[in-house]
């Protein structure tokens, strides 16, 4: 789409995409430059995920990342994003304790980072938080299935809803979040047939990350797409490029060129006139 025809993504436009069965694209970004590239590619939704705790900060889980860190990254992303709808991911224990704490932190995310909405994890048990945040005037997305903040309770990074009872729970959780006012729901690592059922029953967009092709949209983690997270590659992720190889090759070349003297070349250097240099030599020789 030519830049001049493009408008900023909004909640009504996302709902329209759901109604018209037009697929929604969503990618994570944590920095200004990532957001700038993602926005240029025409992505609909940009998630400042708390996965940055792992992909950018090197933690083993999403739990340690703070509200301060998330707000700083989200602000960088909104500076890089002109058209994409930016969602800030509420970090661990910034909404679970009470409605009041949830509204305060969600409001801070919106006011200090300029993001368009927030996301929180959890189903029926978090429906009350969802309602409180939405009633405070803050658009909120739900997140079901594999919810990384509950990784310990879920027993690790593994698919959810693989038996009828657990799948039914996901269907009920999605209905509860929609009823509480969520504008969309992310389904992570859920069997495709279960996601299809949830998507067909929902009036709001259902986005998949490892939840199959029948959802209203797809999310991938930027770092998984471009081989930028060395710790592991989830089963649902697809590689669209190898940034790690480009950077590693460049770094090896740099080390080799510094050792051999091939870098820096004349065009990387600054000069002083012969006259000024002679004057300098005279000055230092008299010291
Ligand atoms: O933090 C994140 O990037 C997420 C995705 C894994 C869904 O929540």
In a domain, residue 246? The reply is no
Both 190 and 274 in one domain: the answer is no
Domain identity same for 51 and 119: yes
Same domain assignment for residues 104 and 144: yes
Cβ(146) to ligand 1 under 6 A?
no
SS3 for 86?
Answer: strand
Q: Is the domain of 236 the same as that of 272?
A: no
Ligand 1 atom 1, closest CA? 49
Q: What is the dihedral sign for C-alpha 252, 253, 256, 257?
A: negative
Tokens describing residue 224: 């998984």
> Same domain for 175 and 219?
yes
DSSP 8-state assignment for residue 182: -
Can 188 be counted among the known catalytic residues? yes
Q: Whose CA is nearest to atom 2 of ligand 1?
A: 49
210 part of a folded domain: yes
Cβ contact 141:186 at 8 Å: yes
Q: pLDDT tens-digit profile of 153-203?
A: 888 778 889 999 999 999 999 999 999 999 999 999 999 999 999 999 999
Tell me the CA–centroid distance for residue 279 and ligand 1, in Å: 62
215 and 184 share one domain? yes
Burial class (CB in 10 A: 0-12, 13-18, 19+), 222: buried
* Cα radius of gyration rounded to whole Å, the chain: 24
Same structural domain, 209 and 274: no
Residues 151, 275, single domain; the answer is no
| 116 in contact with ligand 1, CB cutoff 6 A | no
For the CA of 50, the nearest atom of ligand 1:
1
The answer to whether residues 203 and 280 belong to one domain is no
- pLDDT, one tens digit per residue, over 194-234 is 999 999 999 999 999 999 999 999 999 999 999 999 888 99
CATH (domain of 197): 3.20.20.60
Residue 106 lies in a domain: yes
Please, are residues 66 and 91 in contact by the beta-carbon 8 Å criterion? yes
Question: Is the pLDDT reported for residue 2 higher than 70?
Answer: no
Pair (161, 269) in one structural domain:
no
| CA-wise closest residue to 277 among 266, 285, 269 | 285
Which range marks the domain in which residue 231 is found? 3-241
Mutate to test the pocket of ligand 1, among 209, 220, 229 (most ligand atoms within 8 A of CB): 209
Domain count, the chain: 2
Residues linked to residue 119 through DSSP beta bridges, in sequence order: 89, 141
In a domain? residue 249:
no
**Claim to verify: residue 236 and residue 261 sit in the same structural domain:** no
| Candidate of 62, 63, 118, 234 to mutate for ligand 1, largest count of ligand atoms within 8 Å of Cβ | 62
Tell me, yes or no, whether 234 and 264 share the same domain: no
């Amino acid at each position: 789409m030519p830049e001049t025809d493009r408008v900023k993504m909004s909640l009504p436009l996302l709902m329209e995409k759901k109604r018209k069965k037009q697929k929604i694209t969503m990618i994570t970004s944590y920095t200004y430059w990532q957001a700038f590239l993602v926005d240029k590619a025409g992505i609909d939704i940009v998630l400042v995920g708390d996965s940055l705790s792992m992909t950018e900060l090197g933690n083993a889980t999403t739990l340690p990342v703070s509200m301060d860190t998330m707000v700083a990254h989200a602000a960088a992303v909104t500076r890089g994003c002109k058209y994409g709808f930016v969602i800030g991911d509420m970090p661990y224990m910034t909404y679970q304790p009470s409605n009041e704490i949830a509204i305060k932190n969600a409001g801070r995310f919106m006011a200090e980072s300029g993001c368009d909405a927030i996301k929180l994890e959890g189903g029926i048990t978090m429906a009350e938080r969802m309602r409180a945040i939405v009633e405070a005037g803050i658009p909120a997305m739900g997140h079901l299935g594999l919810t990384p903040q509950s990784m310990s309770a879920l027993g690790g990074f593994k698919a959810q809803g693989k038996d009828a009872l657990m799948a039914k729970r996901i269907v009920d959780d999605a209905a509860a979040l929609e009823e509480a006012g969520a504008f969309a729901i992310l389904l992570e690592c859920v069997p495709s047939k279960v996601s299809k059922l949830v998507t067909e029953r929902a009036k709001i967009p259902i986005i998949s990350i490892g939840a199959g092709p029948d959802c209203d949209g797809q999310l991938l983690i930027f770092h998984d797409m471009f081989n930028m997270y060395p710790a592991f590659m989830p089963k649902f992720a697809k590689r669209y490029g190898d940034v790690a190889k480009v950077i590693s090759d460049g770094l090896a070349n740099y080390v080799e060129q510094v050792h051999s003297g091939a870098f820096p070349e004349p065009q990387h250097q600054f000069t002083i006139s012969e006259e000024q240099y002679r004057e300098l030599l005279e000055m230092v020789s008299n010291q």
